[in-house]
Amino acid sequence: LSTGTSSVLKMLFICVIKIWVFVAFKEHMQVFLKNQLKPFNIGVPYLSVMDDEVTDLRGRTTLWFCLRYLDLNGEPKEIFISLQELENTEATIIKEGILLALGNLEVQCQHVKWLSFDGASNMSGKQNGTQSQMIKYHTIDTVYVHCRSHLLQLVCVYAAHK
């Protein structure tokens, strides 16, 4: 084989290994997260969903998803659940991403009591935002809370401009 062909085969082999490791890691993480949430399924009644979306330098939109709850000892727990690539940042698409993540963990919407997002209208909008759609159609007695980290960042930006 020529050196060019050899290096292409080597790169192809490395890509196949990386994909295999990623798939194995993803499957392992789903099992791990379901086991982490087993205490939730046997007595922890409520949880908070925290989400944010970001568009990376390549233009891909990604939704990150975390759950926060009190364990059976009353200790706060926060679990990073997933990153999902989204078609766009419309509230309906984000809502479907949240429902998919909850479904993958076999967590029912009735257990979601708090939603925490940033202040962008697609997330926090009272008419058509993600929080509005979640509360109207899936989590009727849920409260929306503006993400405290995003509020702190807004204060810091304001203070820096003064």
The string of pLDDT tens digits covering residues 98-129 is 898 888 877 888 888 888 888 777 888 888 88
What CA–CA distance (Å, rounded) separates 148 from 126? Answer: 18
Q: How many CB atoms lie within 10 A of CB 30?
A: 14
Provide the token pair at 118: 């940033």
Instruction: Say whether pTM exceeds 0.75.
Output: no
The arrangement of strands across the sheet holding 112-117 comes to 76-86, 61-70, 47-55, 112-117, 143-146
Residue range 62-90, pLDDT digits in tens = 888 888 888 778 888 888 888 888 888 88
